[in-house]
Chain A
Amino acid sequence: MKKFSQPESVSEGFCEQRLIPRLRVGLGFSRKAHPERLSQRWPKRLTWNLSSVGLLALIMMSWGLAEDSVPFVSAVDRFGRHGQIDVVESGRLLISELGCVKCHASDAAMLQPKGGPSLIAAGNRLDESWVRDFIADPSGVHPGTTMPQVLDSLPVTERRKTATDIAAFLATQRQPFTEIKGSGTVAVPLKYWARGKVEAGRNLYQRIGCVACHAVDERVLTNASQRSTLDAMLDDLDEDEIEELGLAGVARPVSSVPHPNLAAKYTRQGLTHFLLDPDRVRPGGRMPNFKLTPVEAADLAGYLIDLDATDASVGRDDREQGDALAGKRAFQSLRCDACHDVGGRREGFIRGDLPRLVELRGQVLAGCLQQEHSRGPAYGLDDFQRNAIVAAIRSLDSTGVATVEQRLQHRMMQLNCYACHQRDDLGGVGRDRQAHFHTVGNIDLGDEGRLPPPLSGVGRKIRTAWMTRVLAGNKADIRPHMTIRMPKFHRVQVDELPKWFASVDSAVVLPSDPKQTNQKLVQAGRELMDVGCVQCHRFDGFALPGVVGVDLAGITGRLNREWFQAFLRDPGLLKPRTRMPNFFADGSSQDRDLLSGDPDRQIDAMWAYLSDVPEHSLPQKIQDSRRQDYELKPIDRPLLLRTFMPVAGTHAIAVGFPEGVHFAFDAERVRLATAWRGEFLDAQGTWFVRFAPPADPLGTSVIPFPTGSVFATASGQGPGSDQAEYHFDGYRLDKSGVPTFLYRHGDIKIEDRITANADGKLRRTWRLIPLAGKSRRIAFAPLSEQTCESMGDGKYVSDSGITALVKDLPPRPRGRGALVFELELNQSLTLQTVYTW
């Protein structure tokens, strides 16, 4: 075996020195551009102004001269080449992303390979011609691919035939597409994958976060006003100043994760299904799942395919007949199955026949690492990459077990978390991409309202159980005001992240809170919400007008209490440039009276309050605002609401009066059911809540009325016993908006009008109209079946505390008993009673 030559020291000016075997001119929309490699030519000062997007496009074009044959590994490109991570880590990343360990075995956890796409259903998903071309020239067809050239070992004359055969073999790898289940909430139209709307797809691509990693579509105009203060500062600095301030990493454009011509590669159905569930095809989970609906995935696929369909190579029909059987043999003999799954039994691949990775220490560059490639798959590495891999292999004996911190950073780099999230000095959305991140409705919330949150110290902040949910995409989206989506990741790749974050960031888990019963503390916390929190945060979906922000309901399940305390004590300390104000500047509270003005106790109170929103009632200001929207306030005329109510039942008609006295009529049992004073009703549940909750009277002095009947035919049973004879006929509104309820009792028509008196009483007037002409005796019981005390002057007090003043009928002597008047009814008759309680 040849000896490796000694690795050269890592060259800083690699891009000037590097041989450039293939030049590609980037177009306005180019996923092939690697602009930062030409950072030496970076203009001295970038002027970002209204035309910054156009300028950027120009810059990208002039930078678009880049070498394509090298495999692209985002973190190596972004951080490794600029000295932001050490060369050994760059090497480890390359080893895992290129899958070196698939042939040169190693147990080192950080070197485990991402693995190539599963080809089990390649036949349905991929275009056979594209597969052939790709196998024949991987980096030519997909610049930046981590797929090596594997045909180099074959005679030149055989290469094309072999590629054709393998493509033919893969075309036989077919499996029905997953059937997407439709439901009342997931629309799955017929052949949705064929109906993708380009414009809708473009919108998604630009907004949900695709452009954090992939190339920006420069045809999409961005809101130039969405610039951060940091951005503005960078505009005013020259390159040296940027370097001096340590902002080079922030200022540097970030190159795009390339993908090949998708119109040539995929069928619409194939790409749509891939976007719906990338993990199914990519075991390494580097492309996360954006929780797309079937229609969104189809739109996105439609857009991406449309974007690439103009390429002349797309759609040409140059299919050659390959020999699938020969292709299968070649697939095995070329060790394709080291990285790719295909259907059927895996055979032919024995890893043991190649040296283990650790055995390659100290050897000279040879085989697949050799510049003039001699044997094995050819990765097209450049000097930097080659040196990094060698450095990583050499470190295999010297470094001990990787620390959690190293593993965490390594995994974040593999998954490209840094494309969106900054953690300490690394990463965050590239400066050239930030203009594509928006707040819904372009409301100004600063960068916090549009960019993915930084992850510095996140292990101290976020409870591990919640972070697990976030990474799994399990109903953990708490920022609906951002157009970007947090994608979900392959479980295997992120299982350990929450505990790694907690460990690296020294999370302090305070003893778990008992169920908060200290009402005083909860009340104090609620009051403190009104000091500031309500100005920017939502509470259980409710907010002050115009406020969008993270909902604080459920926050105690998301955050560690220790972090919450520290953050409130000094937000800027934990989150630089946050818009969260410091409410305890200089260690003192804004409210010096509440809980003796003790910041710690006040913060505890807030935590106690927030532990159960909305059970602990919404903050007063939110409640007031909510009332503006939903509370029915009778101002100059009565208001009605037909709804479900606890006492008045499922046929309730509530009537509210400007006088502040209200009642609910039960149209099922045809009776005055309940009355109250003060505020009337909140209509939100009736108007807009799907589960149709009953409406509770808002006011005070809520009194149920007796359940029995007011009228009875005297010849029959007593009052309160013959409900069945009532028929509700509706109501009419008079000019002033007061309803008169219309119903029948046997063959008597009754018009029942109830109005409010300014002194808090209800005046009820019945007009009885006998339908048939005959005279009959009826019983009238204004307090129904209840026993009451006659107070004289026609005033009676029921056992439940209702006072009835019965007008125009002879008063009863003082004493106890049921209040029943027997009356002769032979023509229309009006009866009146005033109720108070």
Chain B
Amino acid sequence: MVSHKRCFIVALCSANEPRGKAHARSEWPLSQPLLRHAIAAAMMFLSSHAGADQEADYYRIISVATSQSNSDSRATNWRPGNDGPVLEVSGIAPYDDDRIAVSIRKGEVWILGGVYDDPPFQVTYHRFASALHEPLGLLRRGDDLLTVQRSELTRLRDVDGDDVADQYSTVVKGWGVTGHYHEYAYGPKADGDGNLWLTLNIGMGLKGDLLKRTRQSSLGYQQGLWRGWGLKVDQSAGGDGGRGELVPVCGGMRSPAGLGANADGDMFYTDQQGNWVATGSLHHMRAGAFFHHPESLASMDADGSTIQGVRDVPDGMPMNEALKRFPPMRPPAVWFPYKKMGQSATDIMLDASGGEFGPFAGQLFVGEFTQASINRVFLEKVGGEYQGACFPFRSGLASAVLRLMQGKDGSVFVGLTNRGWSSLGTASYGLQRLIWTGQTPFEIRTMRVRPDGFQLTFTRPVDPVTAGKPASYRFKRYTYQYHSTYGSDEIQPSELTVRSAKISNDGFTVDLVVDGLKRHFVHELDASGVRDALGKPLLHANAYYTLNRLPLDRGHSLRE
């Protein structure tokens, strides 16, 4: 089972697949590219002339490797499929021009070749590193790969050039690890200045010996050091191993399974619904901010803490009220309303392709575990703070989406694994790739708040009749309860009235005047009445804007 070095090749389309189930399986069971493209073109033609548009018309999913396990994703004695590396992908990074590296939950890093082929008919596998403790991220830096294991941030270096790591250097460690399974550690990701970041899960229901490795704060919470915190690494001191210092930045996290920087280099993380966390959320990590989970305050009194002086944690009140009573608490930049926008947000990926991945360059894409899909986020700064809207983007991945990485051609690699929870899809784990077909879907590209409403921009010019009609847009708003129980319903819901819809000359922008905007409420838009110039409806008609701040006038600075 465990040979130290393993390298084999799997052919997809050859009649004699060498190892049982193909590692590489594609939506395209044909090997001849011409025929394939002809069929693709025909399908595109058919789909554009018959029936409603599909996500697949615009973003194609290719399976690089997906595998079945015979076990249920929650089985105690879960077993992988009998077909090679267990690609429960937990991190993805470029390796060289043609190859990528993936970390897998089992504790290894593999270099995969042939992943850009379409279909990937000959994927190669080569083990780069092993004996890592559930690494949950992978980042390329110079010639090295960086990964966060349960107990440390590690730099993997191949010194002798044989594509096998021979140095496993500790960059930082020192956060609390009680041994509880839920204490996942994620990262690293780099911000605009090159600083490395990582996030740490809260332990759940710690008891017995696990408590010996915790600290207790004046508030009575008991957790390992920096559990529920986002930290960055200060590498200014240097050192021959690339060692750094752990710098705690912000707290209040529950299960921060994804992190990533936006185009301006600011760092964000996603959280997942649970106790204290109403629904999935996206947060801007910055010094001194507290997000929601108070057990992270076990480290409030620790050296380096950026949050001090919390004496009382409010429990059981609407979000806006809780924000007033809990000074360090900051609202999320984006809420992902439960079920509507997924059930378990994961990785954050900036589309830095400059358009190779479609019309959303500069926006963020967020993985979704339970629903095996990917969502999209548009952010703006209002009064110096980030807020914005989320939109459904692509569903139908083969398993839970844990990791996203943009490849050299703008396409996006999607790392999949659903063990321990469960998800939609047909596979237990694997790697897929999402490719823009070159067709522009009709979507709401951006959604900005205005003093009196919202401004939408679209990816294609709108039909002036439907898009100019206020009745084509329906708004409602709601907020959440801040409390120690699991998740929150949408509370204080109300319908809003759209007064007017004004279309710009180029047909790409619509200004909506909407009554009743309210701070700290999600503003849910259903624009299913809108058509484009050809009479087609939106591919996704819903958008969810998290309004924390209202601009005073139209002069506030907007940034994408």
Contacts and interface: CB of A to CB of B under 8 A. Distances in A.
A177 B2 CA distance: 52
A814 interface: no
A668 interface: yes
B223 interface: no
Interface in A129-153: none
B1 A651 contact: no
B168 A480 contact: no
Interface in A676-699: 683-684, 686-692, 694
B178 A650 contact: yes
A541 B77 contact: yes
Interface in B455-470: none
A633 interface: yes
Interface in B394-437: 395, 419-424
Contacts of B422: 184-187
Nearest to B160: A735
Contacts of B199: none
Contact of B2 (A480, A639, A686): A639
Contact of B151 (A633, A651, A683): A651
> In the complex, which of the residues B105, B131, B170, B343 has the most CB atoms of chain A within 10 Å of its own CB atom?
B131
Given A185-B74, A187-B423, A692 B134 contact: yes
B339 A642 contact: no
Interface stretch (A40-48, A374-382, A523-531, A724-732): A724-732
A183 B181 contact: no
A643 B133 contact: yes
A185 B370 CA distance: 7
Nearest to A629: B1
Given A187-B424, A667-B151, A688 B131 contact: no
B4 A637 contact: yes
A541 B169 contact: no
B107 A642 contact: yes
Interface in A635-654: 637, 639-644, 650-651, 653
A188 B76 CA distance: 24
Nearest to A690: B420
Interface in B180-222: 180-181, 213
Contacts of B173: 651, 667-668, 728
Contact of B370 (A182, A637, A639, A729): A182
A33 interface: no
Contacts of A637: 4
Given A190-B340, A633-B2, A668-B151, A688 B78 contact: yes
Contacts of A441: 70
A188 B339 contact: yes
A729 B153 CA distance: 11
User: What class of interface size applies to chain B in its complex with A?
Assistant: 35 or more
A295 B77 contact: no
Contacts of A683: 2
Contacts of B213: 650
Given A187-B343, A686-B107, A690-B419, A733 B395 contact: no
Nearest to B337: A190
Interface in B67-102: 70-72, 74-80, 86
A189 interface: yes
Contacts of B77: 540-542, 684, 689
A300 to B, nearest CB: 15
A754 interface: no
A632 interface: yes
Interface in B338-358: 338-341, 343-344
Nearest to A192: B339
B150 interface: yes
A180 to B, nearest CB: 8
Contacts, number: 149
Given A632-B2, A729-B243, A190 B392 contact: yes
Contacts of A732: 159, 166-168
Interface in B86-134: 86, 105-107, 130-134
Given A188-B343, A541-B79, A686-B107, A742 B131 contact: no
A766 interface: no
B177 interface: yes
> In the complex, which of the residues A190, A548, A688, A691 has the most CB atoms of chain B within 10 Å of its own CB atom?
A688
A667 B79 CA distance: 29
B21 to A, nearest CB: 11
Interface string A186-223: 11111000000000000000000000000000000000
B241 A730 contact: yes
Nearest to A734: B166
A190 to B, nearest CB: 5
Nearest to B272: A184
Given A541-B71, A642-B132, A650-B177, A183 B343 contact: yes
Nearest to B80: A688
Contacts of B131: 639-642, 653
A192 to B, nearest CB: 9
B166 A541 contact: no
Nearest to A197: B396
Interface in B224-244: 241, 243
A649 to B, nearest CB: 8
Contacts of A185: 74, 370, 421-422
A189 B168 contact: no
A629 B130 CA distance: 16
Given A189-B339, A651-B173, A730-B167, A690 B181 contact: yes
B167 A187 contact: no
A688 B106 contact: yes
A684 to B, nearest CB: 8
A686 B77 CA distance: 12
Contacts of B270: none
Given A187-B424, A742-B241, A650 B78 contact: no
Contacts of A632: 2
A183 B70 CA distance: 23
A189 B173 CA distance: 39
A628 interface: yes
Contact of A688 (B79, B133, B170): B79
Contacts of B370: 182, 184-187
B1 A187 contact: no
B387 interface: no
B542 interface: yes
A730 B169 contact: yes
Given A187-B424, A190-B392, A742-B241, A182 B1 contact: no
B149 interface: yes
B546 interface: no
Given A187-B370, A653-B131, A732-B168, A182 B339 contact: yes
A692 B181 contact: yes
Contacts of A728: 152, 170, 173
30 contacts: A184-B344, A184-B422, A187-B424, A188-B339, A188-B343, A189-B371, A189-B395, A190-B339, A540-B76, A540-B77, A541-B75, A541-B77, A541-B78, A629-B79, A630-B1, A650-B150, A668-B173, A686-B107, A687-B105, A687-B106, A688-B86, A688-B419, A690-B420, A729-B170, A730-B241, A732-B166, A733-B166, A734-B166, A737-B4, A742-B169
The 5 closest A-B pairs by CB, nearest first: A541-B77, A640-B131, A690-B420, A692-B181, A730-B169
Interface of B: 1-2, 4, 70-72, 74-80, 86, 105-107, 130-134, 149-152, 154-155, 159, 165-170, 173, 177-181, 213, 241, 243, 338-341, 343-344, 369-373, 392, 395, 419-424, 542
Interface of A: 182-190, 295, 440-441, 480, 540-542, 548, 628-630, 632-633, 637, 639-644, 650-651, 653, 667-668, 683-684, 686-692, 694, 728-734, 737, 742
Given A650-B178, A667-B151, 19 more contacts: A182-B338, A184-B370, A188-B343, A440-B70, A540-B77, A541-B79, A628-B1, A639-B4, A641-B131, A642-B131, A642-B132, A650-B177, A651-B177, A653-B131, A686-B107, A687-B106, A688-B86, A732-B166, A732-B167
